[in-house]
């Protein structure tokens, strides 16, 4: 407990139910400095946020990062469908993600 004192958290943290600062969970971030917010922001698709993230990390072209991702997945291969597709569809790819172990 914080004994009724005003608690100010740093970036990468949130104020928990006990009134103490703790790191943002994986998949979330907090960029505000000197705050008393109880929630962290959700990492957007295309970014990853390990616990305690201040600014989301951009994922590379070989990583799969869905919304609320803490550790990027790995894209192993992509398949281009070139047969029986019109010219516009030739550039479409399907990415196959491997489960992070």
48-67 confidence digits (pLDDT tens):
999 999 999 999 888 889 99
Residue 7 lies in a domain: no
Question: What integer pLDDT is reported at residue 74 of this predicted model?
Answer: 81
Name the more confident of 1 and 54.
54
Residue 68 lies in a domain: yes
Residue 37 has pLDDT above 50, yes or no: yes
Instruction: Pull the structure tokens for residue 71.
Output: 């550790």
Question: What integer pLDDT is reported at residue 17 of this predicted model?
Answer: 94
Residue 5 lies in a domain: no
| CATH assignment at residue 42 | 2.10.50
pLDDT band at 2 (very low <50, low <70, confident <90, very high): low
Q: Are 46 and 66 in contact (CB under 8 A)?
A: no
The domain in which residue 40 lies consists of: 13-98
Instruction: Pull the structure tokens for residue 8.
Output: 């100010």
């Amino acid at each position: 407990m914080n004994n009724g004192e005003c608690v100010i958290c740093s970036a990468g943290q949130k104020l928990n139910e006990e009134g103490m600062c703790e790191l943002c969970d994986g998949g979330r971030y907090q960029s505000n400095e000197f705050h008393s917010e109880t929630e962290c922001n959700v990492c957007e698709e295309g970014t990853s946020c390990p616990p305690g993230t201040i600014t989301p990390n951009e994922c590379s072209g070989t990583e799969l990062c869905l919304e609320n991702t803490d550790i990027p997945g790995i894209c192993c291969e992509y398949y281009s469908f070139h047969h029986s597709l019109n010219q516009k569809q030739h550039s479409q790819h399907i990415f196959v993600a491997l489960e992070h172990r």
